[in-house]
Structure 1
Amino acid sequence: MRRFGPLALLVLPIILAGCGLHPLYGGGGAGGVVGTLRQVEVATIEGKAGWLVGNALRDRLAADGPARYRLDVRLDDSITGLGVRRDDSVSRERRTLRARYQLVQLADGQVLLDASAGSDAGIDAVQSEYATIAAENTALERLSGIIADKIVSRIALYAQRTPATTSATVPGPAPTPAP
């Protein structure tokens, strides 16, 4: 088996190249996907969860320069009690954060992407109300980052799969009209 290890390392890149896999962020900072992500401005999102998600999105998108797209996000944040103790107090909670978002082209107001993302976290509700509130806040912070990652990944996939979006962000000669 040890004899085939080096051979496998030589053959693996050839096999992967033939399967059609392409890196999402190919070209690094000069690539089309990164160029598109840098042109997305995040609209204000209401509430504490909105503030957390908005900041996480701005950190991940790293917009620099004029915006061509706006990201509109609506959140639904809920906490549900699951377990009940003998004294009728809740012993376990689930915090759920759902986002409905739209990527809007600023030039004409066209909605380019309309999708949703969500995640949830379990929380132990202990006897200390302070500890439970702290756990709920920590869960919200963690969920905000997860939601932001999902949204940015979906926008990046859209940018990669849509030639009109990526070609509009990569500098180059203007296309010539067909005769």
Structure 2
Amino acid sequence: MSLFNRRTLLLMPLALAACGFEPVYAPGGSGAALNGRVAVSAPNSVDSYLLVQNLEQRLGRSATSGNKYDLNVNVSTTFRRSAITSTNETNRYTIDGRSNYTLRSNETGQIIASGRVENFVSYSAAGSTVSTLADERDARERLMVILSDQIVNELYAAPGLGS
């Protein structure tokens, strides 16, 4: 007797519909409600520029007249030495990143979603100065992609965003 039953596969969509599952990119889903309608706050640092750039790529850049939502984001990073030799030389750094976000409706002024996302990346410092700086720049870019993806995922999961 097989553990897989075709009837289970046929009943799965009904179970998902009963629990409130709704596809993000379906008509009326939160992805469609946010696409091209979110004005992201202006960046004030290199990290916030990278974060805003990635958010606009994922959410679509909005026209100034058609903004339905304002997304305010703040980002902060801290550096830690994470691999130290016995001679007190650092071979690896870790960058911890945090971003607070608030999505506000322009029509009602209400806060629709807010939260904080955190993550980290590491990079090698064992090479030359040039390669260490290139690794740091790449790590910052990776961290901002990770944080922006986390923000977008949380926004898509926020209740009440259907258009």
Task: State the TM-score, normalizing by the size of structure 1.
Answer: 0.77
Q: 1:53 aligns with which of 41, 51, 54?
A: 51
Q: Do 1:49 and 1:75's aligned partners in 2 also have CA atoms closer than 8 Å?
A: yes
What residue number does 2:104 align with?
A: 104
How big is the shift at 1:63? 4.1
Once residues 74 and 90 of structure 2 are traced to their aligned partners in structure 1, the CA distance between those partners, rounded to angstroms, is: 28
Once residues 150 and 9 of structure 2 are traced to their aligned partners in structure 1, the CA distance between those partners, rounded to angstroms, is: 29
Q: Do 1:24 and 1:156's aligned partners in 2 also have CA atoms closer than 8 Å?
A: no
Q: Aligned AA for 2:48?
A: G
Q: Gaps (5+ residues) in structure 1?
A: 170-179
Deviations 1:56-115 (A, max 9, x none): 100100145511111000001121112322442212211111101111122343322220
Q: Gaps (5+ residues) in structure 2?
A: none
Q: Do 1:92 and 1:122's aligned partners in 2 also have CA atoms closer than 8 Å?
A: yes
Structure showing the higher helix proportion among its residues = 1
Q: Aligned AA for 2:150?
A: K
What residue number does 1:175 align with?
A: none
Number of aligned positions between the proteins: 158
Q: Do 1:24 and 1:157's aligned partners in 2 also have CA atoms closer than 8 Å?
A: no
What residue number does 2:34 align with?
A: 37
Task: State the TM-score, normalizing by the size of structure 2.
Answer: 0.84
Question: Once superposed, what is the RMSD of the aligned Cα atoms?
Answer: 2.2
How big is the shift at 1:35? 2.9
Q: Do 2:82 and 2:90's aligned partners in 1 also have CA atoms closer than 8 Å?
A: yes
Q: Which moved more, 1:146-155 or 1:125-134?
A: 125-134
Once residues 78 and 34 of structure 1 are traced to their aligned partners in structure 2, the CA distance between those partners, rounded to angstroms, is: 32
